[in-house]
Amino acid sequence: MSKLKLFFGGSFDPIHNGHILSARQLVEATQAIDITLLPNALSPLKQQQHCSSEHRRQLLELALADYPELRLDLREVERGGRSYTCETLQELAAQYPQQHIGFVMGLDSFNQLDCWRDWQKLCEHAHLLVIARPGYQLALSAKLEAWLADKQSTNVEELHRFSRGKVYFCQLQPLPISSTELRKQLATHPQPAELSRQLPSAALEYIIEHKLYGA
């Protein structure tokens, strides 16, 4: 039986179909038990949130309602302040001592990993899973490349054999959607068909009803 539990961190401001599709594909591709979305309170690398944590939570709940294999963990939102992944992974590893924790991020996030607090310690608590993102190539600093050398894996089997410490590059077919582009569209010239492709319908209705992101 699988021991792998995945956690997908992000601002989800708002959640979109790129997140959802990647999360669903990952559970299948890695044979994980489940995947939990982990919205941050405030990303250390972002200046601001574009709507309140409460609205982001509501949007996540609406978007995930149809997918029982996708879960939600609000610990970072409840902790408040800037959310540091290393702290969260340490907590998760202590909470699930029998499981293997895999923390998921897009390639754009991984390229900046050496700006994260205590980034060299992340793999002491978990595996990292890196998913492709349209428009981004691997572009690592020399120190990140050196750190990666003995951790990099393309063999999913290793996520099950080892409890932590691997950086696994996963070949998924990501969707070209970003929250930044979505917010721009909502605020400028929203096109219903295009927005429906990018957002779950219940989330889109909620955004319009509450006039979020300038919609």
Determine the straight-line distance between the first and last CA of the chain, rounded to whole angstroms: 45
Task: Give the Cα separation of 112 and 94 in Å (integer).
Answer: 26
36 interacts with ligand ATP by CB under 6 A: no
**Contact pattern for ligand ATP over residues 6 through 25, marking x by CB under 6 A:** ----xxxx----xx--x---
Task: Give the Cα separation of 8 and 6 in Å (integer).
Answer: 7
Binding to ligand ATP (CB under 6 A) within 117-136 occurs at 131, 133
Smallest distance from ligand ATP to CB 69, Å: 17
Residue 205: other Cβ atoms inside 10 A: 12
With contacts defined by CB under 6 A, name the span among 159-167, 169-177, 184-192, 196-204 that binds ligand ATP.
169-177
| Strands of 73-122, DSSP E | 100-106
Q: Choose, by CB under 6 A, the member of 34, 73, 87, 108 that binds ligand ATP.
A: 108
Smallest distance from ligand ATP to CB 98, Å: 26
178 interacts with ligand ATP by CB under 6 A: yes
185 interacts with ligand ATP by CB under 6 A: no
Tokens 């559970």, located at residue: 27
Tokens 């956690």, located at residue: 7
Three-state DSSP state, 110: helix
Sites of contact with ligand ATP (CB under 6 A):
10-13, 18-19, 22, 105-106, 108-109, 131, 133, 174-175, 177-180
